[in-house]
Structure 1
């Protein structure tokens, strides 16, 4: 039997004894209290002697004969309680001694300040509220210093509840995410956008280049896919004369997993009638500036540099260090022409990038290598120039896109839903936004010509027939909506 199994058996024995003496933690339905640990710390000096309830997870314990000091954590902060044997009955004292770090405890007592100046609660009543049957990796704290109880990345990702218990950064990320989503909604509602929900199960999952997850619809005996994008159903709504729409929802892409990609993730998409690419850039800039200011108190956002496991954690703007980078969302984003950036960072010329054959020859003859891996760029498997251009973007340009930037002018072959650029044959009215070398948004002047859109879908179907299982399907229902008329539209996806 492993040590963990032994510990579980010991704790099960303690649970049985708690039940015997009338302190079954799982029989408790509620323990009302309104105070947070932070508030108690801030107000105890003005409220000494006041009787209050408090509850939380036991995260530290110091026994001193017939008394004990414990810290209870409410998730955000910890507060000290003081228990004397003479202040509670025999059964309660025994129950206290049957508790372990990681258990939840509710107490009632009087606020006071210890001789060392720490705000505390002298307990007169206690009630066990849960029994942890496993050893919880509690972080240790001494003054302002803290040591995390869990550093194994695999365990953190497999058992997120342990990550939240032990790592303040994980909790902060979860809280920040919630505040960001709320702020995003507030922005779009203020701009006159209508929030909608569109189908997750689709017969033709389109709007992005990705493999799908499939499912069977029993009621209709129908094969369906989980959506990979929100785009096509949102544009149907614009065809119905709703001029501004947005959706925040889950999408599912059956592809690789890394610290940059997850098969299931949240996507924001928004569409605005009578708007173009310039309007979309302005919306993105305004959105990031407004949300950063609302959530972090400033358009200047401090970001921890990426760790080996890929974590990036946002924090406030005070006290920068060498381990951090500061992003300024208060100024206009840098604008970068895609082809010009590839030429600048790869050494290839405009002539080299004028055709697939020229590009392949230049890469081979000049022995162009990946600056990170040192390996030669393999272009043999690329079937069209657009795909190769986007590969060159990833290798040579993305590492230089640290500050907020828009990369503009994407190839026609890889942009089946974006309008053609009338001034640049073979390219489209499309941009992608980058921060810290990562693509964070993708935007178009949307195609509203149903004939052009059909031809693009047909080209994608030819790619699919040639073996590209991420090529866009033919969506006749969407084309029918487009044939009913959609105004010129700008659209953007962030996620």
Structure 2
């Protein structure tokens, strides 16, 4: 599909000339939506709708939510949030007995706006009870190819990078990616029990030209190396599945059975764009609480705020079966499949 020129700001998306430029992308979006629903139906999944209003929007340090409040008829106030993901609700459905579910949900994330970020966007999430997380790698590859086929393209082309969406994705561990693209031995800074050595990683980062601030923690340095050295090289030529994240960077994932330093977490990349984030799901409620508290302590340190912990979610986790789940940024995938240049080009009504 050709890429029309769309440079007008989102405030004028309703102008007829702007809409006509964007319309081919939007119609392709509809076709991809229908194709994905048909794919999940053929795989035996049930589509679920989750409530957008939640008592907790998530418990990750660097995710920011939109807050609101509910009023009773007596005027009593209860704080609520627009969810940043349908994850907690979907896992409660797994605890309730659902086996294979997917959701195409609107989600909201604050402090995010740019060519690949929008405050309101669509998240495709799917969960398989009693399935290893490697199965989700195959799911991701199938959905990438289906999006390209439905949009009528043979390749993704974004920011000077080309990716073949029909090629078998490369599987690369985070440690391998740090070594290959940054020249850093990542696991040298991770102990056998998963604890991290900030000074060791900071020294390695400085050696390869990464700026490190005095108050940066291990996670800050890790993120800076990923963003500056690793992500721009992923998904070039063919998709990349970046797997086995350090356990400290996978708050909702279970440890890898043969190496507790790393977790059953992977991300899918094409043309340097992160498309999906998947886990072998953690089902230990006590461990999940501990990780949530660590995340909220970090959020308080960096941003001076905390989100409440969803106690109902932790209670449901006690009943949830072993499962694997993935979250895919649907708008980003549509952007790559259609040849759009920015996320607003593939949203029917962008936020002003």
TM-score, normalised to structure 2, is: 0.81
Counterpart CA distance in 2 for 1:207 and 1:288 is 29
* Residues 440 and 494 in structure 1, CA contact (< 8 A), matched pair in contact too: yes
CA pair 207-278 structure 1, distance change in 2 beyond 3 A? farther
Q: Which residue of 2 aligns with 1:431?
A: 266
Counterpart CA distance in 2 for 1:236 and 1:342 is 35
2:217 maps to 1:363: no
Q: How many residues align?
A: 314
User: Which of residues 426, 437, 446 is equivalent to 2:281?
Assistant: 446
The alpha-carbon deviation at position 409 of structure 1 amounts to: 1.3
The alpha-carbon deviation at position 288 of structure 1 amounts to: 1.8
* Residues 127 and 325 in structure 2, CA contact (< 8 A), matched pair in contact too: yes
CA pair 221-472 structure 1, distance change in 2 beyond 3 A? closer
CA pair 351-327 structure 1, distance change in 2 beyond 3 A? closer
* Residues 162 and 271 in structure 2, CA contact (< 8 A), matched pair in contact too: no
Q: What aligned pairs does 1:162-177 form with structure 2 within 5 A after superposition?
A: 162=15, 165-166=17-18, 169-177=21-29
User: Which of residues 37, 40, 43 is equivalent to 1:188?
Assistant: 40
Secondary structure of residue in 2 paired with 1:335: strand
CA pair 170-227 structure 1, distance change in 2 beyond 3 A? same
Secondary structure of residue in 2 paired with 1:442: strand
Q: Which structure 1 segments of 5+ residues have no match?
A: 1-147, 307-323, 370-375
The alpha-carbon deviation at position 170 of structure 1 amounts to: 1.5
Counterpart CA distance in 2 for 1:382 and 1:325 is 31
User: Which of residues 140, 144, 161 is equivalent to 2:14?
Assistant: 161
* Residues 247 and 269 in structure 1, CA contact (< 8 A), matched pair in contact too: yes
CA pair 415-302 structure 1, distance change in 2 beyond 3 A? closer
CA pair 238-166 structure 1, distance change in 2 beyond 3 A? closer
Counterpart CA distance in 2 for 1:350 and 1:325 is 26
Counterpart CA distance in 2 for 1:224 and 1:448 is 25
Secondary structure of residue in 2 paired with 1:406: strand
Secondary structure of residue in 2 paired with 1:223: strand
Q: Which residue of 2 aligns with 1:340?
A: 176
Q: What aligned pairs does 1:199-218 form with structure 2 within 5 A after superposition?
A: 199-206=51-58, 208=60, 209-218=62-71
1:88-108 deviation line (CA, Å, top 9, x unaligned): xxxxxxxxxxxxxxxxxxxxx
The alpha-carbon deviation at position 440 of structure 1 amounts to: 0.5
Counterpart CA distance in 1 for 2:14 and 2:46 is 35
The alpha-carbon deviation at position 183 of structure 1 amounts to: 1.1
More helix by percentage: 2
* Residues 205 and 228 in structure 1, CA contact (< 8 A), matched pair in contact too: yes
* Residues 460 and 471 in structure 1, CA contact (< 8 A), matched pair in contact too: no
CA pair 261-458 structure 1, distance change in 2 beyond 3 A? same
Q: Which residue of 1 aligns with 2:136?
A: 280
The alpha-carbon deviation at position 156 of structure 1 amounts to: 4.2
Counterpart CA distance in 2 for 1:152 and 1:434 is 25
The alpha-carbon deviation at position 291 of structure 1 amounts to: 3.2
Q: Which structure 2 segments of 5+ residues have no match?
A: 191-196, 330-352
CA pair 334-472 structure 1, distance change in 2 beyond 3 A? farther
Counterpart CA distance in 1 for 2:24 and 2:283 is 42
Q: Which residue of 1 aligns with 2:340?
A: none
Counterpart CA distance in 2 for 1:379 and 1:336 is 29
Counterpart CA distance in 2 for 1:471 and 1:405 is 34
* Residues 244 and 264 in structure 2, CA contact (< 8 A), matched pair in contact too: yes
Larger Rg computed on CA atoms: 1
* Residues 460 and 472 in structure 1, CA contact (< 8 A), matched pair in contact too: no
Aligned-CA RMSD value: 2.4
* Residues 186 and 201 in structure 2, CA contact (< 8 A), matched pair in contact too: no
User: Which of residues 89, 107, 113 is equivalent to 1:251?
Assistant: 107
Counterpart CA distance in 1 for 2:245 and 2:310 is 23
2:71 maps to 1:236: no
